[in-house]
Amino acid sequence: MPSMKTNRSAAKRFKVTGSGKLVRNKANKRHILTKKETKRKRNLRKSTLVDQTCVKNVKKILPYA
């Protein structure tokens, strides 16, 4: 049986924690930053967990994670 392929774009975006949860970076930090508050931009730097509704799909495209 052939080995499963990891989706390389997903592998660059998601990391697995020690407890098995998925971590991602927040969106909306690329451009049009002048109208966003400093507090909002600072909070966008932090990583966050992947929502439970998406975990099944993300784990499917990251078979070895």
Across the range 33-47, mean pLDDT stands at 98
Cα–Cα dist 51/65, whole Å: 17
Domain boundaries, the chain: 8-61
For the stretch 4-39, pLDDT in tens is: 999 999 999 999 999 999 999 999 999 999 999 999
pLDDT over 90 (residue 65): no
Looking at the structure, give the CATH architecture of the domain made up of residues 8-61.
Irregular (4.10)
